[in-house]
Amino acid sequence: MSPPADGRLGKRESGTARILGSGASGVAELLVFHPVDTVAKRLMSNKSAISTIGLNNIIFRKAAEASVSTKFLSLFPGLGYAAGYKIAQRVYKFGGQPYFRDLIDKNGGGWFRDTFGKKTGGMLMHATAGSLTGIGEVVLLPLDVLKIKMQTNPDAIRGRGLFKLITDEGVASLYRGWGWTMARNAPGSFALFGGSAVTKEYLFQLSDYSSATWTQNFVASIAGAVASITVAAPLDVVKTRIQNANFNSTVGGTAIIREMIRTEGVGAFFKGLTPKILVVGPKLVFSYTLAQSLIPFFGKYGDKRDF
């Protein structure tokens, strides 16, 4: 029988609280950061030197010479797919990680604590649960693929809805790059949840992570987000280039890696990392902070309302 969970795993919030908290964070993130995500994806997909064609053309494409308002609206392609993907992803990622954490604690918590110590074992359970959540996130890949194509290669799906695309291209085409997605998500999610746990443990000396204040969640989220983006950056570039290609493309990740090294150099694997940390980092910090704060909030509300 597994020993009882230590305080660092915190109070178990209800499933309703987890869904409401993580879902609300996904909606808020979508409304605020979809244009930012489009900019990041277009920077990662660009294969030319920025000095050659200019940021304006990379980011705004056909709207590069248009008015400011038109330029801004051009950063909202694929909003429908993005809504389905982002809300489902955040509910699964931020609401699902605690379930994996509980499962690990129930079946292997004693081993983690005996092997790594109470503090480190608790943090590793958080990080490992995050990694497992990230791997499972691959089930949502079709919505991510369609969102990325709308952001970077809209001609590939122009005039075709989801069911038409499935009929024309097959379900397998929407799962292109699934292996690279899992390979990216595993270390990225490990670093996200692990970095947050380390910050709460050592910087704020918290015995119960769910008791963190909004400010503590914010600081912990910054640490986790920067670690996650940096660790996942090389595979994220490969994943994005696989997914933004036309449906009939047969170029795989290995071929993309060879071509990147040959024509762009090793530095290409971190192309757009600084802008990504500056523009995607706040998006992840925003949603993760909100989820970490709202899940306990809805948990307390649910205790009062018994829902």
Q: Show the tokens assigned to 246.
A: 């036309």
pLDDT classification of 90: cutoffs 50, 70, 90: confident
More confident residue, 229 or 252: 229
Cα 229-233-238 angle, rounded to 5 deg: 145
Can you tell me the mean pLDDT for 287-293? 89
Contact 74, 61 (CB under 8 A): yes
More confident residue, 224 or 143: 224
**Residues whose CB falls within 8 Å of the CB of residue 30, separated by 6 or more in sequence, listed in order:** 79, 82, 83, 86, 87
pLDDT tens per residue across span 59-72: 888 888 889 888 88
Q: What is the pTM of this model?
A: 0.70
Supply the pLDDT for residue 3. Answer: 39
DSSP track, 162-222: HHHHHHHH-GGGGGTTHHHHHHHHHHHHHHHHHHHHHIIIIIS--S-GGG--HHHHHHHHH
Contact 124, 117 (CB under 8 A): no
More confident residue, 286 or 53: 286
Nearest in space to 225 (alpha carbons), one of 176, 288, 151: 288
Give the alpha-carbon dihedral of 206, 211, 213, 217, to 10 degrees: 70
Judge whether residue 18 has pLDDT over 80.
yes
Judge whether residue 132 has pLDDT over 90.
yes
Q: Show the tokens assigned to 99.
A: 């379930």
Please give the mean pLDDT across all residues of the chain: 81
Note the residue count of the chain. 307
Residue labelled with tokens 């489009």: 38
What is the chain's alpha carbon radius of gyration, rounded to the nearest angstrom? Answer: 20
- Between CA 290 and CA 24 the distance in angstroms is 8
- Between CA 225 and CA 174 the distance in angstroms is 27
C-alpha distances in angstroms, 247 versus 13, 61, 162, 175?
A: 42, 21, 13, 11
